[in-house]
Chain A
Amino acid sequence: DTGVSQNPRHKITKRGQNVTFRCDPISEHNRLYWYRQTLGQGPEFLTYFQNEAQLEKSRLLSDRFSAERPKGSFSTLEIQRTEQGDSAMYLCASSRQGHEQYFGPGTRLTVT
């Protein structure tokens, strides 16, 4: 257990539905990252926050994806109008500035 938690751990949804995932980082970490990982590939960067500010968002991220970190603590990632191609493991990580990232256990999304 790294101290980063994610909920839910698994989510099955039908195509076209909206889903929201939550990440609770290590409390003293000011940076929070979201990644997506599919089988046989490394984590793919989606976005990251420093405190409550979203500093970068991947160009690969369509506008169906949105992330927030309203008080600089937990974060949510929402996917609207899910598609089968969204099926993946969604990983959250946190870090102190300039240090290594600690990953949560991930949320596995299956879109049917």
Chain B
Amino acid sequence: GQNIDQPTEMTATEGAIVQINCTYQTSGFNGLFWYQQHAGEAPTFLSYNVLDGLEEKGRFSSFLSRSKGYSYLLLKELQMKDSASYLCAVREEAGKSTFGDGTTLTVKP
């Protein structure tokens, strides 16, 4: 079956760096996505990895190791507005994506 694991909650301090991990076991793999979701809002796209390695996008970076079924999202220079849920999603086939339950990040002053 499909299984995506992320920590439920994390807390970090404004200005710091935080790493959110995601491990997955899925029947297929055709890319891994990270989305940000603020409370009461829809998810918004952050990053995409399909090959092993690090993808950097401003304050956000995402890493993928397909052999280990592992990814992380790295957030630098944390701001209060980064408090949100971060969703890891694996695209298993041409269209279908399976989402993890998300990691709720709280940024404290």
Residues of B within 8 A of A43 (CB): 43, 87, 99
A28 within 8 A of B: no
In angstroms, Cα B35 to Cα A50, docked, is 22
Residue among B44, B87, B95, B100 making CB contact with A48, cutoff 8 Å:
B95
In angstroms, Cα B92 to Cα A45, docked, is 12
Taking a contact as CB atoms under 8 Å apart, the answer to whether A42 and B95 are in contact is no
Residues of B within 8 A of A40 (CB): 101
- Given A42-B89, A43-B43, A106-B42, residue A50 in contact with residue B95 (CB < 8 A): yes
Residue among A41, A103, A105 making CB contact with B101, cutoff 8 Å:
A41
In angstroms, Cα B44 to Cα A20, docked, is 25
Taking a contact as CB atoms under 8 Å apart, the answer to whether A2 and B101 are in contact is no
Residues of B within 8 A of A35 (CB): 99
Residues of A within 8 A of B4 (CB): 42
In angstroms, Cα B93 to Cα A87, docked, is 28
In angstroms, Cα B93 to Cα A41, docked, is 22
Q: Tell me how far the C-beta of B24 lies from the nearest C-beta in chain A, rounded to whole angstroms.
A: 12
Taking a contact as CB atoms under 8 Å apart, the answer to whether A31 and B42 are in contact is no
A74 within 8 A of B: no
- Given A41-B101, A42-B87, residue A103 in contact with residue B43 (CB < 8 A): yes
Q: Tell me how far the C-beta of B104 lies from the nearest C-beta in chain A, rounded to whole angstroms.
A: 9
Taking a contact as CB atoms under 8 Å apart, the answer to whether B95 and A103 are in contact is no
Binding site for A on B (CB under 8 A): 4, 33, 35, 41-45, 48, 87, 89, 93-102
